[in-house]
Structure 1
Amino acid sequence: MPPTLRAPLYRRRVIDEELDALIGQGASAIALVGAKAVGKSATAAERAAIAFALDDPAVRSLIEAEPALLLGGDSVLIDEWQHLPQSWDVVRRAVDAGAETQFLLTGSASQTNPGTHSGAGPILVLRMRPQSLVERGLAEPTVSLGALLSGELPPVTGTCEVTLSGYAAEIVRSGFPGIRDLSPRLRRGQLAGYVQRVIDRDMAELGRSVRNPAALERWLRAYAASSATTASFETIRDAATSGQGEKPARTTTIPYRDALERLYVLDPIPAWMPRARPINQVAAAPKHHLADPALATTLLGIDETNLLGRGAAASKGVAMLAALFESLVTQSVRIYAQHNEAQVGHLRLHRGEREVDLIVENADGTVVAIEIKLTAAVDDDDVKHLAWLREQIGDDLRDAVVLTPGASAYRRRDGIAVVPAALLGP
């Protein structure tokens, strides 16, 4: 059993500041949750003197026999706690009893069996996602989401050398720290293996038997093709047929979808509902995203050259570029929003005549509205939905932003900010 899971070279993440602040304020137990390979263990291990990896059967058997072992030490990491759900309650009871140990838990699946542990209680739960654009080191951010949320209309300046081809490369490279820096061939193999593991092993570990792995893979492929849309799950189910077999039954795909969300493989954006000033005909459907857009390119069999209109799968790649650029940017915005204790939703009216890609909402209900456009030259048509929203909610709109693959950050005459995606930070 290793005394620590600490990585020899660790690159700080946005969530590190949040963890440091919470621990400094007296949080005795924090759980990092999210998809496999996002870096939870490495981040938690930076703060732990000893680690118990519960995905190791030998370690798991040891803790089953002697749960009190989890309570030894000043700082303890319980890695992949969901493999032994009672470990959560061991920590909860220890914290309730005033234990001085600092506990960190990581999990790649939400509660496996309702009732096996008694809720969060004194354990704070933080979501961790793949690396944001800032964490990938593409550019030094010049525009802060926190400043935009303040409503002070901060100056919007800065230039960026990341081009559209650079963003296409980032879509394919992924934000998984242990995968993104591999050679292209090895990276493709690792991402394909990631998808296969979800289908062949992770679903079963969650208690969801997959009788037809090929059907689940087709469903995932159809979901990937629906990235950044609000396509109905019936539409996704129909698309999963693709002439390759029988359509999976609705009673099969709904449990699949729920299990994939519990594994954090699906990461949909919920619909936003304004609080103080109702907007008529707001649709409630979520907007679909996978945990990382690189999983979508893996499932769809496209690479960065295809996204840019070259190669055998060029037509499919070009058709997906805008959606996957939105997924890439959305991933970063959600990380920065969490840093600022804000929530993220999307806005769409029932008939689709008005849409805003992302609504970042403060605790008081005020918001920053964000459109994500695959154009460097932003015109009035690109901001029309932001202008409409300003008319609808007035001062509740703290700021409005268009995120682009362009080179320069600035404010338009109407006050709407235009920001290269790589220049936005927490």
Structure 2
Amino acid sequence: MTDYRPRVVDAELGLCMAAMGAVFIDGPKAVGKTRTAVQVARSVFRMDVDEAARAALEVAPEQLFSSPTPIVFDEWQEAPRLWNLVRRAVDDHTEKGLYLLTGSSRPRDEVRVHSGAGRIARLRMRPMTLFETGHSTGEVSLQRLLEGGDPEGASSGLTIVELLERLVIGGWPDLLNAGEREAVLWLSDYLRTVVEVDVPGLGPRRNPGNITRLLSSLGRSVAAPLNLSSLAQDVGGADGPIAQETMKNYMDALERLMLIEPIPAWRPHMRSRTRLRASAVHHFVDPSLGTAALGVGTHQLLQDLNAAGLHFESLVMRDLRVYGQPLGATLASWRDTQTGHEIDAVLELPDGRWAGIEVKLGESAADAAADSLLRMASKIDQDRHGAPAALIVVTGGRFSYRRPDGVCVVPITALGP
């Protein structure tokens, strides 16, 4: 494909293919998994639409596996036995990077597959970041910040209105050149398919009306701790809350489709007996899903900047996940339940280094955000957990700089991997 736009995950894919016989690329529907995989493939089988390939898989699978490698098996979960066949084929060869599996969901509940440990690498893809869509310069490297570097680099110059428009459109490759009106229609159809086809297709007892109400409720509670009891009440409506087991079933379905990504609570060593929140904070995999579920656009967000700030936080979490993934970084949330003091995210690296992150749509709020980060860092037992590698305020503003107190202020439109 000549119109392919490079992704942060491309380099990770190359490393995985060099190390393992097969790579499983997963992620929500329409994030560009197939488009990324075919850039390095010589053979492609689309298992959701290729009836001949599915038939060959049942009677003579060796015909598929004799195709030129690397081979992409797109939407492999439509033919679940492929997983074990790929695992076996890897065992039978010494070469690396032979097979690529792509998929938008886990197999149905009753399908069992063996572990691919040591044979099949797993690589997560998410919607495109502002850097990947060309709306961030990427001049301020997250990796460099975590290594102690200064935030030096210009923003792309997006206004708050333009930034909120990008939030509503989202990071979907199909919407790269779309306006907000076209994007709203696309996203409405995307969610309708999720509600009517994708979630019910994962198993029984998944009511489309309930799922629609759940998505709206999640849209209203974005960037907040998950409260299953409140969600169950919203979903049940006038009929009363739905059963907790049903509620967990719905949430499990959305996680299996990789549409929501809760941020777990961080539990570091503290200087005092501070009680920390244990519940996860909810975010959609892309902020556009939250606004689409609520039926709101840029105009409505401008009328409620508090809500806009929460959806902007989801956008920042999406981009941080993508930029941090090659580093092995994970995100967590932190809140002192006794005082209510919280910060938006803690980014933790495999070697134990960590960074505190606050997100503010308006750059004028950077001072308060920096104070919050410094206060939080002072409560961590740094003798046991280490000093922060960085304290970062991510804004919707224009300027990148390091404050005299050491806190870095970075516009999301300047941030990159």
- So what's the TM-score if we normalise by structure 2? 0.92
Which residue of 66, 83, 102 corresponds with 2:98?
102
Correspondence 1:110-259 to 2 at 5 A: 110-113=106-109, 116-121=112-117, 122-150=119-147, 152-210=148-206, 212-241=207-236, 243=238, 246-259=240-253
Q: Tell me whether 123-132 or 245-254 shows the greater mean CA deviation.
A: 245-254
Counterpart position of 1:21: 15
Q: Which of 33, 58, 62 is the aligned partner of 1:68?
A: 62
* Partner residue, 1:345: 332
1:263 equivalenced with 2:260 (yes/no): no
Indicate the larger mover: 110-119 or 198-207: 110-119
1:361 aligns with 2:348: yes
Per the TM alignment, residue 84 of structure 1 is displaced from its structure 2 partner at its CA by 1.5
- The structure-2 alpha-carbon separation of the partners of 1:214 and 1:351, relative to structure 1 and needing over 3 Å to count, comes to farther
What is the letter of the counterpart of residue 246 of structure 2? T
**Unmatched tracts of structure 1, length 5 or more:** 1-6, 310-316
Q: CA deviation at 1:156?
A: 3.4
Contact 1:160 1:406 in 2 (8 A): no
By how many angstroms is 1:263 displaced?
Answer: 0.7
Residues 257-301 of structure 1: per-residue CA shift (max 9 Å, x gap)? 111100111121122222698973222211111121111111111
What's the Cα RMSD here?
2.1
State the percentage of identical aligned residues: 33
1:405 paired to 2:396: yes
Structure 2 Cα separation of the partners of residues 336 and 279 of structure 1: 34
Please name the residue that 2:415 is paired with: 424
Aligned counterpart for 1:10 among listed residues 4, 15, 19: 4
Structure 1 residue 155 displacement after superposition: 4.5
Query: Displacement, 1:71?
Result: 1.4
Q: Which amino acid aligns with 2:78?
A: H
Work out whether residues 47 and 79 of structure 2, in 8 Å CA contact, stay in contact via their aligned partners in 1: yes
Contact 2:168-2:180 within 8 A present in 1 as well: no
Matched, 1:305 2:296: no
Q: How many residues align?
A: 409
AA of the residue aligned to 1:251: E
- Find the counterpart in structure 1 of residue 369 from structure 2: 382
For 1:370, the equivalent position in structure 2 comes to: 357
The alignment status of 1:90 with 2:80, answered yes or no, reads no
Partners of 1:31 and 1:251 in 2: how far apart? 30
CA–CA distance in 1 between the matches of 2:244 and 2:324? 34
Check the 8 A contact 2:80/2:111 in 1, yes or no: no
| Partners of 1:386 and 1:361 in 2: CA distance | 15
Aligned-pair CA distance for 1:95: 1.0
Between the aligned partners of 2:365 and 2:403, the Cα distance in structure 1 is 9
Work out whether residues 137 and 155 of structure 2, in 8 Å CA contact, stay in contact via their aligned partners in 1: no
8 Å Cα contact 2:16-2:121 kept in structure 1: no
1:293 maps to 2:280: no
Relative to 1, partners in 2 of residues 1:364 and 1:10: Cα closer, same or farther, differing over 3 Å?
same
CA–CA separation in structure 2 for the residues paired with 1:298 and 1:241: 21
User: How far has the Cα of 1:27 moved from its partner?
Assistant: 2.3
Deviations 1:236-274 (A, max 9, x none): 22233555x543332221101111100111121122222
Whether the aligned pair in 2 keeps the contact of 1:378 and 1:418 (CA below 8 Å) is no
Q: Sort the Cα spacing of 1:112 and 1:241 in 2 relative to 1 into closer, same or farther, 3 A.
A: closer
Contact 1:227 1:288 in 2 (8 A): yes
Instruction: Give 1:164 deviation, angstroms.
Output: 1.0
Instruction: Decide whether aligned partners of structure 1 residues 76 and 272 sit closer, same or farther in structure 2, where only a CA change above 3 A counts.
Output: same
Q: Does the 8 Å CA contact 2:366/2:393 hold for their aligned counterparts?
A: no
Other structure's SS at 2:216 match: helix
Structure 1 stretch displaced more, 340-349 or 296-305: 340-349
* Shift in Å, 1:183: 4.4
The whole-number CA distance in structure 2 between the counterparts of 1:50 and 1:215 is: 41
Describe the shift of the 1:415–1:86 C-alpha distance in structure 2 as closer, same or farther (beyond 3 A).
same
Shift, 1:66, TM fit? 2.5
